[in-house]
Amino acid sequence: MHIQRKIRIVFKRYLLAEGITVLLVLLYAPLLVHWYDGWLNKSISLEHEYFSHGLIGLPYAAYIAWMNRKCWRSLPNSPHPLGGFLLVLATLFYLSRLSDLVNLSLPVMLASICLSLKGIPGLQLQAMPLLFVFLASPNHIPYLIEPYALPLQQFIAETSGWILIKVGINVRVEAIYLYVNERIVEVAPHCAGLKMLFTSLYVSLILLDWTGVWNSRKKSLLFLVITSIISITSNIFRNTLLTYFHGTQREALFTWLHAGWGGDLYSACILGLLVLLLNGMDKYFPSQSGN
Amino acid sequence: MKQMISAQKLLRRYQLSKIMVLVFLLVLVGAVAIPGYATGRWPWTNPPTLANLKQLRSVRQNGIKIPEWQVIAVQNNVQIGTHRWLVEEIKKDKTIAILLLLPQNYPKNQPQVEWLDIDGFHRWQTDSHRTLRFTVKLAPIPDQPPPTVEARFFRSWTPQQTFAVVQWYAWPNGGSPATSRWFWEDSIARLSNRRASWVAVSIILPIQPQGDIKIAQPLVESLAESVQAKLMTETFRFE
């Protein structure tokens, strides 16, 4: 009788809580390895690479969730029924074999566990890490919105053409094609800068969360808007450079900026610019408090 | 006393909720993770394969034969945009039509911006865009409506010539010019461990300079129907 009670206590205290963590790791570690492999080695698909901001987003989400642990423990244990619903949903997603749904099952599963253990306050506490995991779960939305990027592609082609003409290069623009010295550059959907835009916005969210500027809604919105403008402008400039390199037969430079590490460096510089921008904003509007 | 009971109730509810989470996670571990660790095969690393890859490759190499139409010339590996298409010149009576085909090449291959690629290749102007809808009359399968295809239909011209053009992505039980339609079709097929393979079809029919494409519509529609029917009976048959 005595032993039985002891076993029950051990079971309740350790196995239940630690069991959930162990099972989660068993279920999702292979999936995360697969995600990281796809991001680092570009081995899955272009759509998957749209979510490569998860490389830093997921560790960051884990970090803030871990920092919340004291708060989490102090919350009352009050399960919310929605947790059960999301639990079933996440299970079905995981079993579905459809990569998008399997990927989506991770944030849904994590949210369901928050709700099942600590109810709505638990979900609210972990809202930011859950958001970062959700926005880093690869899916095919980029593929589905690509056909609608055509006006943006045309705009980029027109503007790049305009800049090159100003610089004194003979360019003709037809829809999304730039003709320089009888050579063609196509502003493909992948060149429309959607990936860079998504990455910039995701990194901005991390920066806002990290610096606490998040609390000022006006400032956050302003920062996100400027981020989008920087991202789109820098992409137009990059396309202009690519057209220039291709049109003037500087193939090595073209390849370097198009598919080589030049492109990555360019992106890194833009992201660095965001850090400077936020710092600058903090300097020039320090007292603008949130509402 | 009352408070204590409710606190106990709450604790029991909490334990129950925790156990429920554990049970669901255990089911997943048993159903997916243990087989996954044992075999090294995970659902996300092993998507369903294309059962008819051989048939698709044959279209890419040799094209298709349309009943009542005579094949004049076949050219494979014609570079249009970033893809290599099959170009077929076909003839019926005195009418000549060009058939461009791009079959799915490997399991991860998705339709992308083929119509833009073709516009860029021909460098033509277009107008009179409309949607063509046709059903394919094959031996009917019980309890299933005949497959319906939507296609984009428009006029295009270069300084030299005017054309009526029909374009769509064909798949086993239908077709549409929108990549998103194919995506959902393929997703539904994947749920039952199959795939919806696709062939991009573009029919180009020379017409009178600045002629109305309405006059050409019956002919291109019947040709489009024959192409879809041929693909369904030969290329998509093994799905």
pLDDT: which is higher, A263 or B218 = B218
Whether the Cβ atoms of residue A48 and residue A34 lie closer than 8 Å to each other = no
Cβ-Cβ pairs closer than 8 A, A with B, add up to 115
Q: Is the pLDDT of residue A290 over 50?
A: no
The ipTM, to two decimals, is: 0.86
Among A2-11, A209-218, B154-163, the range scoring the smallest mean pLDDT is A2-11
Instruction: Note the pLDDT tens digit of each residue in B163-216.
Output: 999 999 999 989 999 999 999 999 999 988 889 999 999 999 999 988 899 999
The Cα–Cα gap between B92 and B71 comes to: 9
Write down the pLDDT at residue A60.
97
Nearest to B80 by CA among B98, B55, B56: B98
Contact between B113 and A189 under an 8 Å Cβ cutoff? The reply is: yes
Mean pLDDT of B115-132: 91
Tens of pLDDT, residues A193-241: 888 899 999 999 999 999 888 888 888 999 999 999 999 999 999 989 9
Is A84 in Cβ contact with B20 (below 8 Å)? yes
DSSP state of B106: S
Residue that wins the pLDDT comparison between A198 and B7: A198
The DSSP symbol for A260 reads S
Q: Is the pLDDT of residue B239 over 60?
A: no
Residue-wise pLDDT tens digits, A66-99: 999 999 999 988 889 999 999 999 999 999 989 9
Q: What is the pLDDT of residue B49?
A: 86
pLDDT over 70 for what percent of chain B?
A: 95
Instruction: Note whether B7 contacts A: Cβ–Cβ < 8 A.
Output: no
DSSP per residue, A87-101: HHHHHHHHHT--HHH
Average pLDDT over chain B reads 90
Chain A positions in Cβ-Cβ contact with residue B24 (cut-off 8 Å): 87-88, 91
The answer to whether the CB atoms of A113 and B183 lie below 8 A apart is: no
User: Looking at the partner chain, which of A26, A103, A116 has a beta carbon nearest the beta carbon of B33?
Assistant: A26
CA-to-CA dists, residue B77 to A186, A239, B81, B96, B227, angstroms: 20, 29, 12, 21, 20
Report d(CA A99, CA B47) in Å as an integer.
8
Nearest by CB to residue B25, choosing from A20, A79, A140, is A20
**Stretch among A15-19, A276-280, B112-116 having the lowest mean pLDDT:** A15-19
Above 70 in pLDDT, residue B141?
no
Question: What residues does A286 pair with on adjacent strands?
Answer: none
The whole-number pLDDT of residue A12 equals 65
Q: Best interface-test mutation with A: which of B6, B11, B13, B14 has the largest number of A CBs within 10 A?
A: B14
